[in-house]
Amino acid sequence: MRRTVGVLGAAAVTVAALSTPAAAEGPPCQGEYLTYAPIETDDGIQLGELSVYVDEDTGEKCAVTSVFEGGGNARLYVSLGVCAEHEPGNTCTVRDFYEASAGDWSVNTMPLYADDHCVQAVGAITIGDTEATGETTPAASTCD
């Protein structure tokens, strides 16, 4: 499914703050850490995090949505938009788009090869009726 990468809507809800990341159950991303974005509700409560890595040997980029401990039966979503741009900036002209979602995971990974292009990553977590989102900024980011 191809769509424009951007801010996802999130419901305004109140939940207890969770403090420690859960242990990974999926394959970890390989390579160097590039960036991080909190995954928060509209009320600013952080339910998890979105991290992006790059394997310098292959150029493969990997985005990970992680839910904090106590996430229970969380639905996780992660996407990477490969931008036409080669430099960071506020515009990401999406040339390729990849997304994945899963339930009952602590970590959801999605690697892709993005050569020297910038990417924009978006992550989301849903626990019951509570939704939270996060994205890398600027729109064309993680260009390393």
pLDDT per residue as tens digits for the range 55-98: 888 778 888 888 886 666 788 899 989 899 988 899 999 998 88
pLDDT at 67: 86
Beta strands in the chain (DSSP E): 32-40, 46-54, 60-67, 75-83, 94-103, 107-113, 119-127, 130-135
> In which band, very low, low, confident or very high, does the pLDDT at 143 lie, cut at 50, 70 and 90?
confident
Is CATH 2.60.40 what the domain over 32-135 is classified as, yes or no? yes
Task: Give the largest Cα separation in the chain, rounded.
Answer: 43
Give residue limits of the domains in the chain: 32-135
Residues 6 or more apart whose Cβ sits within 8 Å of residue 87: 118, 140, 143
**pLDDT recorded at residue 113:** 65
Residues 143, 31, 28: CA angle, nearest 5 degrees: 115
Q: In this structure, what token pair is assigned to residue 17?
A: 């703050």
Is pLDDT of 123 > 80?
yes
Give residue 3's pLDDT. 30
Q: What is the pTM of this model?
A: 0.74
Note the pLDDT of residue 10: 26
pLDDT beyond 90 at 42: yes
Look up residue 140 and give its DSSP letter: B
Q: Which one is predicted more confidently, 63 or 24?
A: 63
Phi-psi domain of 123 (left: phi exceeds 0; alpha: psi -120 through 50; beta: other): beta
Residues in CB range of 92: below 8 A, 6 or more apart: 5, 81, 83, 85, 118, 119, 120, 139, 140
Portion of the chain with pLDDT greater than 70, in percent:
68
The average pLDDT across 106-119 equals 69
With contact defined as beta carbons under 8 Å apart, do 51 and 58 qualify?
no
Distance CA(9)–CA(137), nearest Å, equals 16
CA dihedral 28, 15, 79, 108 (to 10 degrees): 20
pLDDT of residue 45: 93
